Structure 1
Amino acid sequence: MAELAALEDPKARAANEKHGDDHGVNLTKLRAVATRLKTQQDLARQLWQTGDTAARLVALLICRPKAFERAELDTMLREARAPKVHDWLVNYVVKKSPHAEDLRVAWTADPDPVVASAGWALTTERVVKKPEILDLPGLLDTIEAEMKDAPDRLQWAMNHCLAQIGIDHADHRPRAIAIGERLEVLKDYPTSPGCTSPFAPTWINEIVRRQSVK
């Protein structure tokens, strides 16, 4: 904890706080700390319990994802309010857990929109890797009905799922594009030059175009 405190950078904190993350440690330096520590599950649990965002990010890098029980992961997700901690927990830990599918189903239906966004993130992975377990038309129905008025983080996760369905599943692509065009979610989102817009129709068409020229 003292080492992380010494790495605190006011400029990094100011930049992170714009995205809702309350820490000021450069992520490259934070990853270097984790690389040196290597895998230490007990230490990971101790770091998580501090509640400190930088410490929790290190914890997620040095833990054993498969060592967590389902209830433990559920509790951790509900505690992970900082966007970066939430993102790393889902992508680096939950996706590798044997409880991932059970949690995906439970979280997607959760009334807490931040928790639900994690369920949608896991669903997006299934769209790519295990679409046979999903009801894709049903997902599109839900997105069409709920995405427009969803809170920001949940809306972003649902929009990603919409785009991924359109990218990976040609038979559902016209409907995915049509939903995006009608709802106009993230249509005016500022996009840096050279980056792909998160507006689903633009995103779908651009990635499909790139795939077609490979």
Structure 2
Amino acid sequence: MTGSAQDTDLTATITALREELAGLEDERMRAVNAKRGDDHAVNLTALRGIAKRLKTQPELAHALWEEPARDSTPKLLALLISRPSQYSREDLDRMLRGAGTPKVHDWLVNYMVKKSRHREVLREAWFVDPDPVIASAGWALTSDRVVKKPDGIDQSALLDQIEAEMTDAPERLQWAMNECLAQIGITNIALRARARDIGERLEVLKDYPTPPNCTSPFAPIWIDEMVRRADDG
């Protein structure tokens, strides 16, 4: 197939997907998502169904990510049909800076960056980025290291930084730091008491409304609940 024919097929596929996604939009869902800073109006289960049909398509994923659109739905679909290996370190950094919404940001970090060979160099760079949204991704990757590969991570220094900075951190960064605080308390017995104490004194997310049968994001409660579950086996 010639390049021109490939381009024509790709354009036709994107046009068809644009129409399909438009037909699935629910403005009530958009309004609900807007309260969380998101802008998509397509049910994510339905979006995953489309991705399952399309399977992995790197070229289409790239085109969808760059697709001019009124909301982030094409970017979300792009991530669902991507492979982490198709993106360079520079690609992932550029994509994070252009993610736009919390859902795209979270999916990019969890589905692509955490599975990428570039995750550690990006973690180190993003962790100290002056943009708090970018820094939140660095903290998310650090929490992942704390849980999965803690060797080489100075968790006492992380607690020092959390203690000094979390209270006044912007919302996205504060949430990411709070998760790291909780994961240190859950996984590191030697630092558990200190992590709980920091959470108790700072009271970050202490009054966050939590639905029934869900665990509070308040770090001391989160730590205690996950430790209890582990002990119960």
Instruction: Please report the TM-score for the alignment, with normalisation by the length of structure 1.
Output: 0.98
1:204 pairs with 2:223: yes
Q: For the residues of structure 1 that align with 2:199 and 2:100, how far apart are their CA atoms?
A: 28
3-state SS of paired residue (1:140): helix
Tell me the CA shift for residue 81 of structure 1: 1.9
Tell me the CA shift for residue 3 of structure 1: 1.1
Q: How does 1:17-28 map to 2 (within 5 A)?
A: 17-28=34-45
The equivalent of 2:6 in structure 1 is none
What do the CA deviations read for 1:138-187 (whole angstroms, capped 9, x no partner)? 11111111101000010000000000000001101010001101111001
Amino acid at match of 2:54: L
The equivalent of 1:120 in structure 2 is 139
Q: For the residues of structure 2 that align with 1:210 and 1:96, how far apart are their CA atoms?
A: 27
Amino acid at match of 1:120: W
Moved over 6 A (4+): none
What do the CA deviations read for 1:25-71 (whole angstroms, capped 9, x no partner)? 00010001111010000100100001541000000010111110101
1:80 pairs with 2:99: yes
Aligned residues: 214
Radius of gyration: which is bigger? 2
Tell me the CA shift for residue 23 of structure 1: 1.1
Instruction: Please report the TM-score for the alignment, with normalisation by the length of structure 2.
Output: 0.90
1:105 pairs with 2:124: yes
Amino acid at match of 1:4: L
| Aligned CA distance change for structure 1 residues 5 and 165 (closer, same or farther; 3 Å) | same
Amino acid at match of 1:35: K
Q: For the residues of structure 2 that align with 1:181 and 1:41, how far apart are their CA atoms?
A: 46
Tell me the CA shift for residue 117 of structure 1: 0.4
Q: For the residues of structure 2 that align with 1:23 and 1:192, how far apart are their CA atoms?
A: 23
RMSD of aligned alpha carbons: 0.8
State the identity %.
65
Tell me the CA shift for residue 191 of structure 1: 0.8
1:46 pairs with 2:57: no
Q: For the residues of structure 2 that align with 1:160 and 1:106, how far apart are their CA atoms?
A: 19
Tell me which of 42, 45, 58 is aligned to 2:77.
Answer: 58
